[in-house]
Amino acid sequence: MAEIGIGIVGGGYMGKAHSVAMAAVGAVFDTALRPRLEMIAASSPESAERHRAALGFARAAKDWRELTDDPRVEAVIIASPQDTHRAIAERAIALGKPVFCEKPLADSLDDARAMVAAAEAAGVPNMIGFNYIRTPASQFARKLLAEGAIGRVTWFRGEHTEDFLADPAAPFNWRCEGMANGNMGDLAPHPINAALALMGPIAEVLAEVECVHADRPGGRVTNDDHAQIMCRFASGVKGHIYSSRVATGRKMGYAYEIHGTRGAIRFDQEDQNALWLYRAEGPEAERGFRKILMGPAHPDYQPFCLGPGHGTGYQDQIIIEARDFLRAIEGGGAVWPTFRDGLAVAEVIEAALASAQSGQWTSVIQV
C-alpha cells in the first residue's frame, strides 16, 4: 500500500465532494494507493485556508499554480470554474501529473480539444467527472445493452430536467449569464454523456434552444433555459434529448428510456437505486417492466452496501470516480471517462447550437 498526495483546485461543492471521496475511498474499496489530502487551492489564499481546515487538507495553496507545482502534490483534481480548466490541466499534464477534471471539460471547443491533445500526447492519466453515469443502475444499463439484453436498439430518449429557475420571479443570478452556466453548458452535457455512453456516437442533430424567462428581476438572461435535440446515432438509431432548468417539479430528472427489439430499459435518477427492465420473453401474460433494486449483483454496489436495497447516493458516485482515478494512476492506464469523452459531449453541443441557428440537420464534427 502506497500513499499519493492529492491536490484539489476549488473548495466549492464539487471540491468538497472530491475531498470527502478521497478521505473515504481507501476504506471503501481497500485501494492499493491511499490518498493523502495534501493541498487545496481556491479563489484566494484566505478561502483556500478556510477550505483546508474544513476539509482536512495538510496545506493551503496561495493559487492553483503553487498547487500544481508542489512536489508533494502527485495528482490534481480540478473543481474550479470552467474557464480555468485548460490552464490548470495543461500545467499538471506538463508536469506529468494525473488530472481529474470536473465537467464540462472546458469553456470552449478549442480549449477542450487542446486539453485532449495535451493529455494524450503526454500519456498522462486523465479523467472527466460525469458522475451520474456512475450509479450502479446506469452501469448495469450499460452492461445490459452491451450484452444485447434488449436486442437491437430502436429508440433512445434521454433527459436532464430540474426546476431551479422555473419561477420567472426568481432573481437574476450568476447562472443567468454565460453559455457555460446556461442549460446547454450546465445540464445538457449530462444526458448527452448518457446517450454517448449507452448508445455510442451521435452523427447528426437538429436542436431547438430557448430562453423561456428572458427578463428576471435584476437583469436580462443571456443564456438558455431549455433545449431539445433530435439525434441520429452513428448506428442509425434515432433519439431525442431534452434538458431544462425550468422543468417545474423535476429535481433530478436524469432519465432515459431505450427500446430494443427484445426488451426495454427505463431509468430515472430521482429513484436512482432502481432500473426498470422489460424482456419480451416468457408467457405474454407475465411480461411487464421489472423494477430491479440495485444490490450486490450489480456493478459497483457491494463495497457500499451489504445487501440489496440498502441504497447508494450521490456521494457514492464520487467515491467510485476516486477509485477509478486511483486505478488509472496506479496502472498508468485505461480509465473511463477520459478527457476525450468530455470532448465528445462538447462536439455534440457545438453541433446542436449550430443546428438551432440554422434549423437544419447538422453533422457532429469529431476531431
Minimum CB separation from a second copy for residue 171, in Å?
15
* CA torsion through residues 273, 24, 197, 188, sign: positive
Site for a second copy in 205-264 (CB under 8 A): 206, 208, 210, 212-213, 225-226, 228, 230, 238, 240, 242, 244, 246-253, 259-264
List b or e across 233-272, with b for residues whose CB sees 16 or more CB atoms inside 10 angstroms.
beeebebebbbbbbbeebebbbbbebbbeebbbbbbbeeb
Q: Which stretch binds a second copy (CB under 8 A): 62-70, 176-184, 309-317, 334-342?
A: 309-317
155 binds a second copy (CB under 8 A): yes
Minimum CB separation from a second copy for residue 269, in Å?
7
At 309, list the grid cell: 436495497
| Neighbour-count burial of 137, counting CB atoms closer than 10 A to its CB (0-12 exposed, 13-18 middle, 19+ buried) | buried
150 binds a second copy (CB under 8 A): yes
81 binds a second copy (CB under 8 A): no
Type of residue found at 199? M
203 binds a second copy (CB under 8 A): no
Minimum CB separation from a second copy for residue 12, in Å?
9
- Beta-bridged to residue 180, according to DSSP, are none
Distance separating alpha carbons of residues 313 and 79, to the nearest angstrom = 20
Site for a second copy in 266-295 (CB under 8 A): 269-274, 276-280, 283-293, 295
Q: Which stretch binds a second copy (CB under 8 A): 89-97, 114-122, 312-320, 321-329?
A: 312-320
Q: Which stretch binds a second copy (CB under 8 A): 28-36, 41-49, 110-118, 341-349?
A: 28-36
Type of residue found at 34? R
Q: Which stretch binds a second copy (CB under 8 A): 122-130, 144-152, 194-202, 346-354?
A: 144-152
Minimum CB separation from a second copy for residue 306, in Å?
5
- Beta-bridged to residue 16, according to DSSP, are none
Taking a C-beta distance cutoff of 8 angstroms, is the pair 171, 227 a contact? no
